[in-house]
Each structure stands twice: as structure tokens, then as C-alpha cells.
Amino acid sequence: MGKVSLEGIEFHAYHGVFSEEKKLGNRFTVDLHVATDFRQAMLHDDLKKTVDYYKLYQIAKGHMQVPVKLLEHLAHLMIQDILKVYPDTTQISVIIKKHNPALGGVVNYSVVEVNYPQDYQ
């Protein structure tokens, strides 16, 4: 068992509840962690036997381009797509940070973390 991760993926996107967020957008950082059995990939140098982080990036990028209100929902959508591509995955963690959230004060970022299967029980 091992983990394939992408950390610090940055996007400019338009997620949020407030109208300003939907117009101006914001900077987001996404971290994806996918636990899987990649022993065969490790032994045989075969990309088909592990999680391809290019595909993970494409999943994140695709969802970041479609505005939603809640980061919790956005993380859920990413997890669902990861499970479609990698159904044997045992654990997934999606962490989304919204930089400088519109809260009326100085805040570096707000963070949502959704974990599969823990948050789905």
C-alpha cells in the first residue's frame, strides 16, 4: 500500500457564496492524496499499475473551472471522479484552500478537507 499525492496545485477560480467571489474569483490551492496498492508499478515500472498524477491534475483542473458555492461540495465532486477512474482506491483526501477569503479581515486562507471513506460513513 502506498500513497500518490499532488500538493500545492494552484488555480484562479470563481467558487463561493458571495457575488464578489463569483465576479472577481480568488486563488485556490488544492492537495490530493490517493492511497492505493502500487506494488506492481513499483516492481515493474508500469504506470498502469498505479495512480497517474496527470489524471489527478486533470480531475482537479476540470472541477476548478466549474463554479460551485461550497468547497465541501467541490471536494466531494473531485473524490467521486477519482473513484470513477480508480475504483480500487482505499483512501482519498482532498484539501482545498481559498486564499484571502472575503471575511472582512486578514485571513491567509480558509480550508476544507474531505476524506474518503471517513466522511462518507
| Active-site residue flag, 69 | no
Class of domain 2-120: alpha beta
Helix (H, G, I), strand (E, B) or coil at 98: strand
Q: Give the start-to-end residue ranges of the domains of the chain.
A: 2-120
Q: Which pTM was predicted?
A: 0.94
pLDDT along the chain (121 residues), means of 10: 95 93 94 96 95 97 97 98 96 97 91 96 81
Catalytic residue among 22, 48, 61, 98: 98
Cell matching residue 85: 477512474
Q: How far apart are CA 109 and CA 99, in angstroms?
A: 4
> What is the Cβ-side half-sphere exposure of residue 10, based on CA atoms within 13 angstroms?
3
